[in-house]
Amino acid sequence: MSHNLFLCGLAFYAGVMTTLTKIYHDRVRAGDIHADPAQEACLPALEDIRTHLEATRTKRRGILGGLFHKPEEVPMGLYLWGGVGRGKSFLMDLFVDNLAIDGKRRVHFHAFMQEVHAGMHKARADGVDDALEPVAAQIIRDVRLFAFDEMQITDITDAMIVGRLFEKLMAAGVVIVTTSNRVPDDLYKDGLNRQLFLPFIVLLKKRMVIHELVSPNDYRQNRLEGEQVYFTPANEAARDAIEAIWRDLTGGAAQPHVITVKGRDVVLPAFHNGAARAGFHDLCGAMLGPGDYLAIAETVKLLVLEGIPCLSRSNFNEAKRFVILIDALYEGGVRLIASAAALPEMLYVEGEGSFEFERTASRLREMQDKDWGQS
């Protein structure tokens, strides 16, 4: 055996030995994370995909590749679902960060759908009959592994698009790994014309391993356990405290996020892995309605809302929107971190609507509890 071949063999052996499980255990020993058997149970399925993709690092494309090479065997994808804060996004990052291939991409599902809509809009402007075709073709050229975080379908247009798109990607050999808070059968549950979406659920079950992450631990809640989550007054000290919490939650990695609601854009100024940050006037000073706030509550698992002012007849419209926003967050079990001009009971003490605000104040109090949103 030549010296170079021997070194290649050693490198391959070392790569095989450095499994995701070993990496996970090393992180536990280093004190970076806490051991969680439910998380560890997900690693073999991710390791199977990693091993296969790294063993076939380059994807043969084009006519000649099809003529002279056997079709590449494509591994099953993975649909990882479970409750909020159980570590699905962490496992996704662990997998993608330690996957040594070209053509891998990790993206939040909502952000991806925005890209798809933008691509289809351009295709229509260019006169393409099937606007999805060039979007799918570009992905197939560039991507071998697509990792989607927090898949959820709330719109019939998205439901139809994602069904066709996933079918094209899977047929072309793109491996898909996705996380979700819902079991596949509950995707787009009770949605308009849901029967048209059901074949996509069948496709997911056929082409992906469905794995539930069953952990009693809510790590997002645990990171806030014992932390103050409602700050008053909304001064510099409150801003500094919230900034520290935000950095801990996101590691400083956040970017604007757009939610499309019935053709309109709702902008969250900062977003990362289900956590969003916005000012009061971003969400309550804009012309938003119940549908917009419901979409926000379905998209985010934690919202940092800064600069809530005292409310009165002088800002009655903003106050009404704030009440609707809190109702949507409350019903959606969204964790809230807020800075405000006053305590909840003192935010709205005079003017039309102040009596009805008592319920909102009560909900704001309840949402400060350390166990809020865990059920």
Give the integer Cα–Cα distance in Å for 163 and 201: 8
Give the integer Cα–Cα distance in Å for 340 and 327: 17
Give the integer Cα–Cα distance in Å for 179 and 213: 10
pTM of whole model > 0.95?
no
Number of H helices, E strands in the chain: 16, 11
pLDDT of residue 14: 45
C-alpha angle 263/265/372, rounded to 5°? Answer: 115
pLDDT of residue 281: 96
Q: For 246-273, what is the mean pLDDT? A: 86
The tens digit of pLDDT for each residue in 40-76 reads: 999 999 999 999 999 986 554 443 444 444 446 788 9
Whether 17 shows a pLDDT value over 70: the answer reads no
Residues recorded for the chain: 375
Q: 179, 89 in Cβ contact below 8 A? A: yes
Whether 10 shows a pLDDT value over 60: the answer reads no
pLDDT of residue 67: 40
pLDDT of residue 352: 76
For 227, phi then psi, to 5°, come to -85, 145
Maximal CA-CA distance, the chain = 87
DSSP 242: H
Report the percent of the chain where pLDDT is more than 90: 50
Q: 184, 77 in Cβ contact below 8 A? A: no
Per-chain mean pLDDT for the chain: 85
The tens digit of pLDDT for each residue in 113-160 reads: 878 988 999 999 999 999 999 999 999 999 999 998 878 787 788 888
Q: For 246-259, what is the mean pLDDT? A: 85
Give the integer Cα–Cα distance in Å for 358 and 37: 43
pLDDT of residue 7: 41
pLDDT of residue 351: 74
SS3 content of the chain, % helix, strand, coil (to 5): 50, 15, 35
Q: For 180-203, what is the mean pLDDT? A: 88
Q: 163, 133 in Cβ contact below 8 A? A: no
Residue 80: which H helix or E strand, with range? strand 77-82
The tens digit of pLDDT for each residue in 79-118 reads: 999 876 688 888 998 999 999 999 999 987 877 887 898 8
Whether 238 shows a pLDDT value over 90: the answer reads yes
- Parallel/antiparallel/unpaired status of strands 275-279 and 104-108: unpaired
For 74, phi then psi, to 5°, come to -105, 125
Enumerate residues 6+ apart whose C-beta is below 8 A from 75. 48, 49, 52, 53, 175
Per the DSSP assignment, residues forming a β-bridge with 272 are: 275
Give the integer Cα–Cα distance in Å for 56 and 72: 8
Is the preceding peptide bond at 233 cis, omega within 30 degrees of 0? Answer: yes
Where does the pLDDT of residue 13 fall: very low under 50, low under 70, confident under 90, or very high at 90 and above? very low
Whether 251 shows a pLDDT value over 50: the answer reads yes
Where does the pLDDT of residue 261 fall: very low under 50, low under 70, confident under 90, or very high at 90 and above? confident
Half-sphere exposure for 280 (CA within 13 Å, toward CB): 19
Q: For 238-256, what is the mean pLDDT? A: 88
pLDDT of residue 73: 74
Q: For 231-243, what is the mean pLDDT? A: 93
Where does the pLDDT of residue 225 fall: very low under 50, low under 70, confident under 90, or very high at 90 and above? low
Domains and CATH numbers, the chain: 3-213 (3.40.50.300), 219-366 (3.40.50)
The token duo for 225 is 């356990």
Whether 2 shows a pLDDT value over 90: the answer reads no
pLDDT of residue 313: 85
